[in-house]
Structure 1
Amino acid sequence: MELHVVIEGRKDLTGQLYGQLKDAIRTGRLAAGEQLPPTRLLAEQLGLSRKTVAEAYARLTYEQLLLARTGIGTFVNAGMATRPAPQRTEDLAGAAVVEQWGRMATPLRHMIQEAHARFEFIGGAPSAALFPTDDWRRCMLHGLRESARSRGFYGPAEGLPALRQAIARHIAFSRGVQCAADDVIVTAGAQQALDLVARVLVAPGSLVAIEEPGYPPMRYLLAAQGAQVVGVPVDAEGIVVDAIPQGTRFIYVTPAHQFPLGMPMSQARRMALLQRAKELGAVVIEDDFDSEFRYTGRPTETLFSLDTQGTVAYVGTFSKTISPQLRLGYLIAPPSIRDAVATAKHLTDSHTPPVQQWALAKFIDEGLLVKHIRRCHAAYALRRDKLIARFEGDLEPWFRVVAPAAGFHMAAVCTRPVDIALLITLARRVDVGLYPIAPFFHFTPPQDGLMMGFGGIDALDIDPALDRVRDILVEIA
């Protein structure tokens, strides 16, 4: 790649080159630590003598803007490179919108950034140790070969036909969801699927309903679209349908494994929700984020399977079953919004990366996904049982655990006053990562408690970690 320098005429060539390089360093166009072309190469590119380039380099080196490393090359001095003062936010024509985004809280983002303790109970993180590295590598090589045959063209916005067919077969087998491949829209994780539905349904002032407590990114995403967001309480059976207000345009729920409390929505409540959505003319977004891992009771039907009116948009993800780093999910949109969602997908990111799509299609078709889920299920079930035993044992004086029927997180709600912030701080000092449930409340006073994820911690580490938590509780509570 050539360095962008423009030399005009034949006057003061060294000065021209020196000035442009100095400006590029000062403005950050040449980043700190970046290597400059050798003097011979740059001289050839610019039609200058090597001596001219060497003199410019020498002046910049004398001013400590460049560092010359013998036998290696010439580099921008990291200690001297600076950038111009950025434009102040208040000077922007769109300052109000920028400020609105800047004020939005991102609790899950902060949790992810802090997740580096030896014993991690962060929610939503599957086991990295169980990731099927060898199988996935083989599938990625297949994806590279298939993508090479496409000659580098853009892919379909809705997703590759091979993956859409594989997803349709998989969710029919694992969740009883009957749909055609053409109904599937491949997305960059569940988060993009939620964003696409919001884009096509929400206008400024639209009334939308979400669970309380619930998934914070969905609340902020809707608020950013100008929606009037209403929190609807949940009880032991799920969302309280009678509390969904008149005029609601769409309803976001997590029926298989309520986020963050963990209980499933009852069958009666599911039927009541579908009836309420029909009365309102609302679309229900069913976020089925980790339901493949079920431990007790009979399988529950999805809202999508129960829906006879075309009111449910079904969202799934491979972030929980395989890895969030894949950024692959899918949306089964009702016919009323399917074309609009496909258009929004095309306009926002054109298409999801094809190599990963080909790889995932092969991973599913060869039965590797089902095999991986079964392996993870066995590991998660053991971890779940260990957590429940401890919270119903020596941790019972402080917490009541909501034992999940599915997924790989559970909520432990305080039954007596506990300084959760202090507990989390002291736990981190002994290498235990704990996380509160309070950030998931917004419309009602938050409850004190912990969200205990067990996807990212080995079963053998649970007791030693909780021993440390118990000892801290004895001291502070």
Structure 2
Amino acid sequence: MNVHLTIHGRQGLAGQIYRQLRAGVIDGRLAPGERLPSTRELATQLGVSRKTTLDVFERLVAEGYLRSRAGDGTFVAEEMTRLAPRPPRAALLRPPVELWESLPDALPMPSRDRPPEFDFLGGVTDKALFPFDQWRRCVSHALRVLARAPGGYRDPAGEQDLRLAVSRYLAFSRAVVCNWQDVIVTQGAQQAIDLLARVALRPGDVVAVEDPGYPPARTSLLAAGATVVPVPVDGDGIVVDRLPAEARIVYVTPSHQFPLGMPMSLERRLALLDWAQRHGALIVEDDYDGEFRFEGRPVESLKSLDQAGVVAYVGTFSKTIFPELRVGYVIPPAPLGAATRRAKQIGDRHSCTMTQTALAKFMLDGYFAKHLRRMHKEYAARRALLRHALQHELSPWLTPLPSSAGIHLVAEVRGADPAAEAMVIARAAAAGVGVYGISGMYVASRSRPGLLFGYGGIGTDGIRAGADRLKTALGRLPS
């Protein structure tokens, strides 16, 4: 026998020997027909009892890996020839569908082995500010509820308490009036967009998206087989007059346009709703961080203005709590409700019941509202500090764009040099500052060099020190 067996400690000896012998048969180190030492000989070699090796051999024989011949010994079963290693065959499996190989990366942001010292990454939150003590009580409550409940699968649309909490929250904060039965809980906003694409699109259907826009949404729609048409945005939002007449879905971020940051004006919202009604199109409203508004009066959600039932409202807890939670929701128009629920059921049956139950208690007991108020105050201070730095210390190189909501700001890089964005990012990275370009978020429109500064995950001290470090790094660039 040319397989080496190693014993570690004196616990689980039979299991250790069994796993090593079985692995030797499967990977071909023990060839079909090869004779093994007797149980007595193997026991002596390994320093274990004969009963241990006898039990292992009997198990391997029972499972078909070994064959015992009376008076002759124990051999590797000849049937194991089908497990013998074969030379790789490139065409053994069909290649993946071409679509999946051609899809772009969801977010055109560089990956780093180590995060920079001062990281202005967008879309993240500061978990140090989250009330984990209260969350633990909610999780403990959820565990008690699950312990008392019979095992089984739950409603694909989500737990009733969470759907009720979401409907109440939206009615109060976003003027989205709906029944709790209309809410479908998803694995973040990304799954909500994917579900809507599944039920509302046929392969080849035209979908309109903002340009620049949110790459993961665009990629999800491409994956659904849609023909995605980028539509330019201006200071009022998506340019409705440029929408393709055949579009079946229009995806927009009206509360805080991603990435540029401006809200869609009321006049443009009404024009978009009118266009969708005339063309029979579905509007997907992604309200990804509309909770955080810092200037002016609250802007009506498209869903709150929708009288014809053409808007699907998508929300997420990734920006209000933290992304790892993976909880979002969608309120589709009534005709799409049953199909969206069915698509959710087919996709993953339902989202995590424990997380939903904990989050429902977190909201219904008032912890969520208190957390939002605290975070709004904190983010307002971070935003003010970052805007001041962009308008003053960094103004020779950067010009901030108007923005009244959300947890990121965008600043254009001064000058028309297309390479200026990459140059600033490289200089910042060398100085330990993480900033992120927006040119990769454009598709057809002429991109403008710019940087996205997220302040959800970096505190005021980090913003101040990061801005000083960036100013020093850019000091030798021409203004």
- With normalisation by structure 1, the TM-score equals 0.82
Q: 1:327 to 1:84 in 2, by over 3 A?
A: farther
C-alpha distance in structure 2 between counterparts of 1:377 and 1:463, whole Å:
19
Aligned partner of 2:286 in structure 1 is 287
Cα displacement (A) at 1:421:
1.9
Please give the secondary structure, in 2, of the residue aligned with 1:445.
coil
Contact 2:109 2:437 in 1 (8 A): no
Aligned partner of 2:386 in structure 1 is 387
C-alpha distance in structure 2 between counterparts of 1:146 and 1:412, whole Å:
48
Aligned partner of 2:245 in structure 1 is 246
C-alpha distance in structure 1 between counterparts of 2:212 and 2:453, whole Å:
16
**1:354-404 deviation digits (Å, cap 9, x = unpaired):** 000000000000111111111111111111111111111121122211132
Cα displacement (A) at 1:442:
1.2
Please give the secondary structure, in 1, of the residue aligned with 2:209.
strand
RMSD: 2.6
Please give the secondary structure, in 2, of the residue aligned with 1:299.
coil
**1:12-57 deviation digits (Å, cap 9, x = unpaired):** xxx9986632255679xxxxxxxxxx977975763659xxxxxx9x
Cα displacement (A) at 1:264:
0.2
Please give the secondary structure, in 1, of the residue aligned with 2:476.
helix
The answer to whether 1:448 aligns with 2:449 is: yes
Contact 1:399 1:412 in 2 (8 A): yes
C-alpha distance in structure 1 between counterparts of 2:247 and 2:96, whole Å:
27
Q: 1:110 to 1:48 in 2, by over 3 A?
A: farther
Q: 1:476 to 1:96 in 2, by over 3 A?
A: same
Contact 2:431 2:473 in 1 (8 A): no
Mean alpha-carbon deviation: is it higher for 318-327 or for 439-448?
439-448
Percentage identity across aligned positions? Answer: 44
Q: 1:112 to 1:349 in 2, by over 3 A?
A: farther
Cα displacement (A) at 1:292:
0.5
Cα displacement (A) at 1:96:
5.3
Aligned partner of 1:164 in structure 2 is 163
Contact 1:388 1:403 in 2 (8 A): no
Cα displacement (A) at 1:112:
6.4
Aligned partner of 2:439 in structure 1 is 438
Q: 1:415 to 1:429 in 2, by over 3 A?
A: closer
Which has the larger Rg? Answer: 2
Please give the secondary structure, in 1, of the residue aligned with 2:263.
coil
Cα displacement (A) at 1:110:
4.6
Contact 1:111 1:122 in 2 (8 A): no
Aligned partner of 1:375 in structure 2 is 374
Aligned partner of 2:261 in structure 1 is 262
C-alpha distance in structure 2 between counterparts of 1:304 and 1:454, whole Å:
28
**1:310-332 deviation digits (Å, cap 9, x = unpaired):** 00000000010001111001001
Q: 1:85 to 1:225 in 2, by over 3 A?
A: farther
Q: In structure 2, give the amino acid aligned to 1:365.
A: L
Please give the secondary structure, in 2, of the residue aligned with 1:405.
coil
Aligned partner of 1:77 in structure 2 is none
Aligned partner of 2:459 in structure 1 is 458
Q: 1:39 to 1:320 in 2, by over 3 A?
A: farther
Aligned runs of 1:322-401 on 2, under 5 Å?
322-401=321-400
| 1:46 aligned to which of 49, 56, 61 | 56
Aligned partner of 1:118 in structure 2 is 117
Q: In structure 2, give the amino acid aligned to 1:195.
A: D
C-alpha distance in structure 1 between counterparts of 2:101 and 2:158, whole Å:
33
- With normalisation by structure 2, the TM-score equals 0.82
Cα displacement (A) at 1:84:
8.4
C-alpha distance in structure 2 between counterparts of 1:451 and 1:211, whole Å:
17
Aligned partner of 1:296 in structure 2 is 295
Cα displacement (A) at 1:159:
0.3
Cα displacement (A) at 1:191:
0.6
Work out the number of aligned pairs and report it: 419
Q: In structure 2, give the amino acid aligned to 1:408.
A: I
Contact 1:115 1:433 in 2 (8 A): no
Task: Structure 1 unaligned segments of length 5 or more: list them.
Answer: 1-14, 28-37, 50-55, 57-82
C-alpha distance in structure 1 between counterparts of 2:57 and 2:92, whole Å:
42
Contact 2:118 2:434 in 1 (8 A): yes
**1:64-123 deviation digits (Å, cap 9, x = unpaired):** xxxxxxxxxxxxxxxxxxx988763x5533x251x4323322252755666711211011
Task: Structure 2 unaligned segments of length 5 or more: list them.
Answer: 1-16, 30-46, 60-65, 67-84
Aligned partner of 2:421 in structure 1 is 420
Aligned partner of 1:196 in structure 2 is 195
C-alpha distance in structure 2 between counterparts of 1:18 and 1:190, whole Å:
46
Cα displacement (A) at 1:347:
0.3
Cα displacement (A) at 1:410:
1.0
Q: 1:86 to 1:303 in 2, by over 3 A?
A: farther
Q: 1:144 to 1:449 in 2, by over 3 A?
A: same
Cα displacement (A) at 1:419:
2.6
C-alpha distance in structure 2 between counterparts of 1:278 and 1:386, whole Å:
42
**1:290-325 deviation digits (Å, cap 9, x = unpaired):** 011110000111100100000000000001000111
